[in-house]
Structures are given as structure tokens and as C-alpha cells.
A = this chain, B = another copy of it.
Amino acid sequence: MFAQIKRILVGRPIATEHQHQERLNKVTALAVFSSDALSSVSYATEAILTILVLGGSVALGLSLPIAVAIAMLLLIVGFSYRQTIHAYPQGGGSYIVTRDNLGDLPGLIAASALLIDYVLTVAVSISAGVAAITSLATNWGFPGVRDYAVEIALLCILVVTIANLRGAKESGLIFSVPTYAFIASILSIIVVGVSQDLLFGVEPVRHSIDPDIPPVGETLSLWLILRAFAAGCTALTGIEAISDGVQAFKAPEARNASITLTWMIGLLVTMFLGITWLADAHRAVPNEFTHETIVSQIARTIFGIGPVYVFIQIATALILVLAANTAFADFPRLASFLARDRFLPRQFASRGDRLVFSNGILVLGLFSALLVIIFQANEIAMLPLYAVGVFTSFTLSQSGMVRRHLRLRQPGWTRSAIINGFGATLTSIVLVILMITKFVHGAWMVILTIPVLVMMFRGINLHYQRVAEQLSLSGAVVPPELRRHTAIVLISGIHRGVLPALQYARSIAPDNVTAVYVDLDPEATEKLRKRWQDWGCGIPLVVLESPFRSLINPIVRYIEEVETRYGDDVITVILPEFVPARWWEHLLHNQTGILIKTALRLRGTVVTSVPYRLR
């Protein structure tokens, strides 16, 4: 039954030989790799304003300077990643670059930071996508849709999880349409909005319920500015995607990837600055009553609630779903690398029926759903957790690159080392700012989780090492021929299902079989003794006492006794088991067989099941 449900949801298995890699041209690659980065335009400005509004309406004017600072950071980090692309044309994810150059521990820290960030990418992107849709619904006169934000978000995660378990072939078209629709949307808002502003001046956004802006809020401290800057750094999430996937480009891979990265950074900076400019000009502010997004506020003010506005909102929601989908490719792949290196259970390294890393996909779906529930699908509330992971992995991988340049000293290494070194320094400073300003607002969770994950990775690795040592054949000797068999048949009564097991036992240990029965009810025991004379096949019956009605303890004690008596023999415990024909019928029979088998397996006893099938 489970198998059928799985088939319907996930589809038929796919043969291994169909594993293949489609090479992408630059236009398609931009769509495939940049959805995560570009989609942050839909919430980064809002993140800055959410903090600045605490300083009252005066503070809001600082949004543009802060955005410019973040845009500079973006350019520097982007430039730094171009170095990585050229150095690791086979794909240089932070885990690989860091572990390669700085060693295991930094590599694992980068991996933990990334895994956490992928979970957050799904939760944040899906929540932001839902916010785009609920903003649209509110402006159409259905503000009640917002009450179902969590349910809608969970449904989206479910759909994306199932789609990824099916491993639908990622056609370039599916990515290109929403990504370019989003780029076109945002650029048209900016072109129309900025021209209006420069030519005629603009009106402020009107709200159905006015947001509550303190006329004079907290003093406009450096602390508030740093917090707003830190909040806006979420604009940098996802820009490492291209350097992870250089191999997916058409030849020359590195060159094409590098050009695509430059385009992506250029678009991202333009869109982020443009939206922040317009938010400032239209005095858009986060509205805690309607939960309308900043982009929605600007778009409807410029274009009115018509088809263009609808198009923009839908394009925004779609690119955000794509961004979440990207994490569903990245998380399982990173988990499979970790499993291959024996830092995660090996179940993460094996491809499922449909050639995808099913376990990684399921774990990601589960944890992101959990985050959505905890944070009630409020992406702004999740942002303080976000970005810490990204900047940790930026800093580590850039530092790794510096180390690499110093080690290899390839032509032009000084220039490259300076670029990466500058990037690493800058991102490490920002990381410290992020950790300090966001700590109490949620970043502490990430900062605590990273060492826990690292310890887990090392514990797992240690276990696998110890197992490998113990199972190694070096120095092993072929064990001696087995002397003689002793068989113990465990019975819970005498019926047709027992007879084949008794015969089996006699055939492997003709001279040394006993049947063992645990006495739980004197009456039943007496009945068994009588019938044993007819049906026991001449095998001696041993009845064990069990004052506490336990089955396992008396059996284990008896086996220990036999082991002492026949030290050289191999002892085989034989279990007759009747097998119901239908799955639910298994529930109607005591599952003690399973418990006994588990207990015996743990103590290293050979156990043979002799099944008897029922109709």
C-alpha cells in the first residue's frame, strides 16, 4: 500500500543510465542560477526599512545610503567569486574550497553554515512568495487570505518537495520564464517610477490601514544604522550559486560562468538600488496591519491595481518559489558530499528510485516546514537568522582562496590573493556586525547550531572510521571450519507452522536439537506437553519458567547455558513464523518475534526464520 502511494506521488523508478547533464548557455544559466540571488530584491529593502522605522520617519531617509553600502559590498564579493570560478572550474562550493585549503574543521563549519542557510532559503523564499500573493489578494479585497499564510506556505513546500523527489527534468524554460518575467517586472517599475519621480515628483503610498510610524522613535544611533545595514545584507544571499555550478555551463565553462556572474551582480545591484530609491521616494514602509510587501506598495502606486500589478506580483511569487527550489538541489548535493566524506549517514549519499538524493530532499522539506510553522510564515522575522550562514561561508571560502594563492603561486597570484583577501576581510567584518546586531533577534540560534552540527559530523565520522578499522581484512584470518551445529527451536505452541521449522532444525543439527517453550500459563503448557508427544518429531521439549511473564530473559539465559555446555558448536536459534497474507493482519499478532530476533542479533547469535505462509 505504501509502495502504491509512493508510486503515485513520486513516479516510476528511473534507470541509472539516464543520469546525464545538460549544458546551459549563458541566458539559461542566468535564469537557473540567479533566482535565489535576484529574488532577495523582493525582501531586502523591506528588511532595511523594518529596522529604520524604529527610528521614526527621520531615520527612513537613511535607507538609500545604506543600500549603496550594501551594493558596494555586493560588487566586491562578486568580484572575489570570479576568482573562485577560475580556480575551481569543476565547481567550487564553499565546503569543497574551504576543506581543500583550510582543512576539515573550517570545511565542516562552512558546511554547517550552508546547510542551515539552505533551510532558511526555503523558509524565507516560500514565505516571501506567499506574502506577494497575499498582498495581491488584500488589494483585490480579500484580506482574509493572509490568515492562511502558514497553510499556503506549507502546501508550497510540500509541492516543491514532491516535485524534487520526482526529479522532474529541470528544463531551462521552467526557470527562464519566471526569472526573466521578474527581471522585466522590477526593471519596468524602476524605469517608469524613477522617470516619474525625476520629471513630476511622486505621491506617497496610500494604505487601507495606515501603518504605525513613531513620529520620533529611538534615537538614530549608530547601532540602529548597523542593524539596518545587517538586515539589508540578506541581499547577498545566493550569489555563490554560479561558482558552485561552473560545470553546468557550455565550454569555455569558467569564462561563461564568469560573464554570467558579472551580469547577475549588475542586475542585482540595479534592482536593489532602484527599489530602495522608489521606496524612499514613495515613502513606502512595512505595514504591520495589512502585511503588504514594499514591492507591492510601490507597484500598485505606480501602475494602479491593474494587469501590470498582477503580473508583477505573480512573477515575484514564482521567482521566490524557484529560489526555494534551488535550495532543494543544493542541500541534498552538499549532504551527499558530506556523506561521501563520511560526515553524514551514508543514506544521504545514495540516489533514490528517481535518481535524486531523496533523503536530503525529505530532510530539507521537513526542517523548512518546521521553520515556517515556528515563524508563522513571516519572512521578515526569519531574516535575523539568515545571512549569518552566508557570510560565514563567504569568509571561509574567500580565506581558503587566499591560502590557495599563497600555496600554489600561479601566474597573477598576488593580484588574485589581494582581491580574495580584501573580500575575506570585508565579509569577516560584516559577519561580526551581523552576529552582534542580530544576536538577540535570532542569530544566536544559528550561532549555537553550527558547533552542534560540527560536533555531530565529527562524531559520525569517528564512528565510521572505527567500523572500517574493525571490519578491515588486513591481518584477518579465515575462521576455522565449523565443528558441529546445535539448534534451538523457539516455539509458542504447536501448529502446522511449527513443523517445517522442526524439520529444518533436524536437518542442520541432526543429533543436537531442542525445542524451547516459555511457560506463561500452566494450563497452556500442560496442553502443549500432551500434543508434543504426537507432533514433536522426537525432539526434546524444554519448558522455561518466567515468573515475570518476560519471553526474552529466560530465552537469553537458556542460550547462555547452552553456549557454556557446547562451547565449540555453532548455536543457531530457529524461529518458526507464520506470515499473514495481508498487511493489516500483521497488527493482529504479537510482534514478539521481532523483539526476540533483535535481542538475539544484538548479542551476536545466529538466528534463522522459517516462515509459514498463510492465505
Looking at the assembled complex, report how far the CB atom of A79 sits from the nearest CB atom of chain B, in whole angstroms: 40
Q: Among B345, B497, B504, which residue has its beta carbon within 8 angstroms of that of A570?
A: B504
Q: Is the CB of A476 within 8 A of B504?
A: no
Q: Is the CB of A606 within 8 A of B606?
A: no
Q: Is the CB of B508 within 8 A of A496?
A: no
Could you tell me the distance between the alpha carbons of A603 and B499 in the complex, rounded to whole angstroms?
18
- Given known contacts A585-B463, A588-B345, A602-B579, A499 and B471 CB-to-CB distance under 8 angstroms: no
- Given known contacts A14-B548, A485-B508, A499-B479, A347 and B473 CB-to-CB distance under 8 angstroms: no
Which of chain B's residues have a CB closer than 8 A to the CB of A607? 608-609
Q: Mark A507-526, 1 if CB is under 8 A from B, else 0.
A: 11000000000000000000
Q: Is the CB of B464 within 8 A of A588?
A: yes
Could you tell me the distance between the alpha carbons of A577 and B471 in the complex, rounded to whole angstroms?
11
Could you tell me the distance between the alpha carbons of A603 and B607 in the complex, rounded to whole angstroms?
18
For A14, A535, A606, which residue has the most chain B Cβ atoms within 10 angstroms?
A606
Q: Is the CB of B495 within 8 A of A479?
A: no
Could you tell me the distance between the alpha carbons of A590 and B615 in the complex, rounded to whole angstroms?
32
- Identify the closest chain B residue to A577 (Cβ): B601
Check A180 for interface membership: any CB of B closer than 8 A: no
Q: Is the CB of A547 within 8 A of B17?
A: yes
Could you tell me the distance between the alpha carbons of A531 and B597 in the complex, rounded to whole angstroms?
32
Q: Is the CB of A614 within 8 A of B351?
A: no
Could you tell me the distance between the alpha carbons of A343 and B232 in the complex, rounded to whole angstroms?
65
Which of chain B's residues have a CB closer than 8 A to the CB of A494? 473
Check A610 for interface membership: any CB of B closer than 8 A: yes
Q: Is the CB of B13 within 8 A of A588?
A: no
Which of chain B's residues have a CB closer than 8 A to the CB of A16? 547-549
Which of chain B's residues have a CB closer than 8 A to the CB of A508? 485, 508
Looking at the assembled complex, report how far the CB atom of A564 sits from the nearest CB atom of chain B, in whole angstroms: 18
- Given known contacts A476-B496, A612-B604, A346 and B547 CB-to-CB distance under 8 angstroms: no
Q: Mark A347-365, 1 if CB is under 8 A from B, else 0.
A: 1001111000000000000
Q: Among B466, B572, B597, B614, which residue has its beta carbon within 8 angstroms of that of A467?
A: B614
Q: Is the CB of A613 within 8 A of B609?
A: no
Q: Is the CB of B604 within 8 A of A346?
A: no
Q: Is the CB of A549 within 8 A of B464?
A: no
Q: Mark A118-160, 1 if CB is under 8 A from B, else 0.
A: 0000000000000000000000000000000000000000000
Q: Is the CB of A580 within 8 A of B467?
A: yes
Q: Mark A572-615, 1 if CB is under 8 A from B, else 0.
A: 10000111100001011110000001000111111111111111
Q: Which A residues fall within an 8 A CB radius of B?
A: 13-17, 345-347, 350-353, 460, 463-464, 466-467, 470-473, 476, 478-479, 481-482, 485, 494-497, 499-500, 503-504, 506-508, 531, 535, 537, 547-550, 570, 572, 577-580, 585, 587-590, 597, 601-615
A-B contact pairs, 6 of them (CB 8 A): A463-B588, A472-B495, A476-B499, A478-B503, A482-B507, A579-B602
